[in-house]
């Protein structure tokens, strides 16, 4: 199969950079539904521009290029070992080209492999079928949405919904709760795959497989088709909205299946995926490995822009310019809802760096700084001694993971801003108020949009120790937009939205009883 590696490489690149048509159409409906002047509408505008930029420049839609999962069907007698070997080479090459971020970390040592390979990564599931060709489907599911997967064991008691019993009404409550609990941390509007039944492990696997269904298909089971339709209507009434800012678009897809179970167990497994819903597939010739047909997309059909040229996110003149290092006075003048434009130095820091900062002095002065929760996709260009790094993708990661550390980092090092997505908790909110700092919300997944707001890499620290995603990158920002969602006066948009959507969830849940 001489063309197999190149075919799989092209599948990886297209999956990472080109959102499939059914997802594009769903996002276009969300754009039409939302008030363009609301925070959710502004966020959708940036997301739309980002989707267009990713396709036009063949860049990663989201900097978290996800955990590659392949579902492969082969004719009887095809050498699956040889296919796997070529897939690993394609993954390595896509990473080298910057189409995938190096995401594979040894769970014991914390060391990044640098090539997206390692024990049980990527995931490759093989199945035989009686067709003459090979089918390869790929999903790239990022860590932020993966963390919002959830599994319920019925009967159970749910926040705002009460008891969920072992029936379809109980299942409905679980699915609505799954959408609500994701909030902005799952980069709404999202899509969910659901498995009713099975065991714990296989239920999650089957739920994830539902995400391979086209968003516009019809469930062959009439009861489940009805439930999918109800969930779509009801979930969008809750008001989570884009990035958890509130609004009308919380869900772009719901796909449900049922599997037999043991009498003692009744699991509802939910696989949550973000708006950057990256999955594609190909049919390959079993002899040559060449692509015979694309799944989910027609490569001969022109890709339509989501945002008309020149009509994307617009500045209003009311934005607040932030030029780090920031003073306490400047920061305390900000309030929840303010849109800011950052110009000047930014430093990145994720999980490993926060842990490092609790035990070591920072490699750069953080007084007055904005710490960006971001694991960028970076590419080294040129030859020694003229090598330089370029930012290929740089959207925010989910901030709540840093909640155990952030207050101490703010206190010790004098940060004036932390920036990410999804908001943070009460401990960080208290530290923002006490020490005079703010939480800035960037738009999750908008990796191409934000890469263009980071034109220069000033340097990098701890690269060898932590790897590309976790290193401290020192970047220069130019008109980098974000929204203040937690201010220095104890106010949090995330707490407000969680409370208001909880009340709406109660109403929706009661309506189905």
The answer on 97 and 194 residing in a single domain is no
Buried/exposed 44-67: b ≥16 CB within 10 Å, e otherwise: bbbbbbbbbbbbeeebbbbbbbbb
Alpha-helical segments (H) within 358-487: 403-413, 426-435, 447-451, 463-466
The answer on 413 and 269 residing in a single domain is no
| Phi, psi values for residue 223, rounded to 5° | -65, -45
The answer on 288 and 337 residing in a single domain is no
pLDDT tier at 312 (50, 70, 90 boundaries)?
confident
Question: Which pair of tokens denotes residue 84?
Answer: 């796997």
- At residue 502, the pLDDT reads 96
| CA dist., res. 397 & res. 63, Å (int) | 9
Nearest to 259 by CA among 202, 328, 176, 316: 202
pLDDT tier at 513 (50, 70, 90 boundaries)?
very low
- Whole-model pTM: value is 0.95
Render pLDDT for 34-67 as a digit per residue (tens, 0 to 9). 988 899 999 999 999 999 999 999 999 999 999 9
- At residue 509, the pLDDT reads 84
The answer on 432 and 355 residing in a single domain is yes
- Residue 117 located in a structural domain: yes
The answer on 260 and 182 residing in a single domain is yes
Q: Are 24 and 306 in contact (CB under 8 A)?
A: yes
Render pLDDT for 213-266 as a digit per residue (tens, 0 to 9). 999 999 999 999 999 999 999 999 999 999 999 999 999 999 999 999 999 999
pLDDT tier at 343 (50, 70, 90 boundaries)?
very high
The answer on 246 and 149 residing in a single domain is yes
| CA dist., res. 72 & res. 78, Å (int) | 12
Overall domain count for the chain: 3
| Cβ atoms within 10 Å of 111's Cβ, excluding its own | 14
Between the CA of residue 130 and those of 38, 127, 138, 213, 376, what are the distances in Å?
A: 52, 10, 21, 21, 43
The answer on 250 and 383 residing in a single domain is no
Q: Are strands 291-295 and 278-284 parallel, antiparallel or unpaired?
A: antiparallel
The answer on 305 and 325 residing in a single domain is no
Say yes or no to pLDDT of 345 above 50: yes
Q: Could you tell me the CATH number of the domain that includes residue 357? A: 3.20.130.10
Say yes or no to pLDDT of 313 above 90: no
pLDDT tier at 383 (50, 70, 90 boundaries)?
confident
- Residue 165 located in a structural domain: yes
- Residue 502 located in a structural domain: no
CA angle 346, 105, 107 (to 5 degrees): 125
- Residue 235 located in a structural domain: yes
- Residue 498 located in a structural domain: no
The answer on 188 and 293 residing in a single domain is no
The answer on 449 and 429 residing in a single domain is yes
The answer on 306 and 330 residing in a single domain is no
- Residue 208 located in a structural domain: yes
Long-range contacts of range 223-228, CB-CB < 8 Å, 24 or more positions apart?
223/168, 224/256, 224/257, 224/258, 227/168, 227/171, 227/172, 227/256, 228/254, 228/255, 228/256
Question: Which pair of tokens denotes residue 309?
Answer: 């040229």
- At residue 385, the pLDDT reads 83
Between the CA of residue 500 and those of 238, 320, 443, 506, what are the distances in Å?
A: 9, 28, 21, 10
Domain boundary among 273, 296, 328: 273
| CA dist., res. 199 & res. 259, Å (int) | 9
Say yes or no to pLDDT of 371 above 90: yes
- Residue 206 located in a structural domain: yes
pLDDT tier at 512 (50, 70, 90 boundaries)?
low
The answer on 454 and 432 residing in a single domain is yes
Residue-number span of the structural domain to which 263 is assigned: 143-273
Tell me how many helices (H) and strands (E) the chain has: 15, 20
- Residue 374 located in a structural domain: yes
Render pLDDT for 159-205 as a digit per residue (tens, 0 to 9). 999 999 999 999 999 999 999 999 999 999 999 999 999 999 999 99
């Amino acid at each position: 199969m001489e063309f197999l590696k190149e075919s799989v490489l092209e599948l990886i690149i297209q999956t990472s950079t080109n959102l499939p048509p059914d997802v594009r159409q769903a996002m276009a409906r969300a754009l039409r539904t939302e008030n363009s002047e609301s925070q959710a509408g502004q966020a959708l505008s940036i997301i739309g521009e980002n989707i267009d930029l990713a396709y036009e420049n063949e860049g990663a839609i989201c900097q978290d290029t996800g955990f590659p999962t392949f579902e492969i069907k082969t004719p009887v007698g095809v050498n699956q070992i040889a296919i796997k070997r070529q897939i690993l080479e394609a993954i390595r090459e896509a990473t080298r080209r910057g189409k995938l971020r190096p995401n594979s970390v040894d769970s014991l040592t914390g060391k990044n492999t640098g090539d997206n390979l390692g024990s049980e990564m990527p995931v490759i599931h093989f199945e035989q079928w009686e067709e003459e060709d090979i089918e390869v489907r790929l999903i790239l599911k990022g860590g932020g949405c993966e963390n919002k997967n959830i599994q319920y064991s019925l009967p159970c008691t749910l926040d705002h919904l009460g008891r969920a019993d072992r029936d379809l009404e109980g299942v409905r409550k679980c699915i609505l709760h799954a959408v609500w609990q994701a909030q902005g941390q799952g980069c709404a509007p999202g899509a969910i795959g659901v498995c009713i039944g099975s065991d714990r492990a296989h239920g999650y696997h089957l739920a994830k497989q539902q995400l391979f269904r086209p968003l516009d298909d019809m469930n062959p089971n009439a009861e489940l088709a009805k439930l999918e339709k109800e969930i779509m209507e009801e979930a969008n009434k809750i008001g989570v909205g884009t990035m958890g800012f509130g609004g009308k678009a919380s869900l772009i897809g719901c796909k449900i299946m049922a599997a037999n179970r043991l009498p003692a167990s009744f699991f509802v497994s939910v696989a949550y995926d973000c708006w950057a819903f990256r999955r594609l597939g190909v049919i390959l010739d079993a002899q040559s490995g060449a692509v015979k047909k694309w799944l989910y997309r027609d490569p001969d059909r022109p890709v339509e822009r989501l945002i008309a040229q020149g009509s994307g996110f617009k500045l209003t003149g009311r934005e607040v310019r932030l030029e780090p290092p920031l003073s306490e006075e400047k920061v305390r003048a900000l309030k929840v809802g303010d849109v800011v434009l950052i110009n000047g130095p930014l430093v990145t820091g994720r999980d490993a760096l926060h842990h490092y900062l609790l035990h070591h002095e920072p490699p750069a002065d953080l007084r007055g700084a904005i710490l960006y929760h971001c694991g960028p996709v970076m590419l080294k260009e040129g030859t020694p001694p003229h090598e330089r790094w370029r930012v290929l993708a740089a959207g925010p990661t989910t901030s709540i993971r840093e909640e155990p550390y952030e207050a101490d980092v703010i206190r010790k090092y004098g940060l004036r801003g932390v920036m990410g997505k999804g908001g943070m908790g009460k401990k960080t909110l208290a530290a923002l108020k006490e020490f005079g700092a703010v939480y800035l919300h960037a738009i999750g997944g908008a990796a191409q949009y934000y890469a263009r707001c980071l034109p220069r890499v000033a340097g990098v620290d701890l690269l060898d120790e932590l790897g590309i995603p976790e290193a401290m990158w020192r970047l220069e920002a130019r008109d980098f937009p974000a929204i203040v969602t937690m201010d220095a006066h104890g106010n949090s948009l995330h707490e407000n939205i969680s409370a208001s959507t909880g009340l709406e969830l109660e109403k929706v849940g009661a309506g189905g009883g």
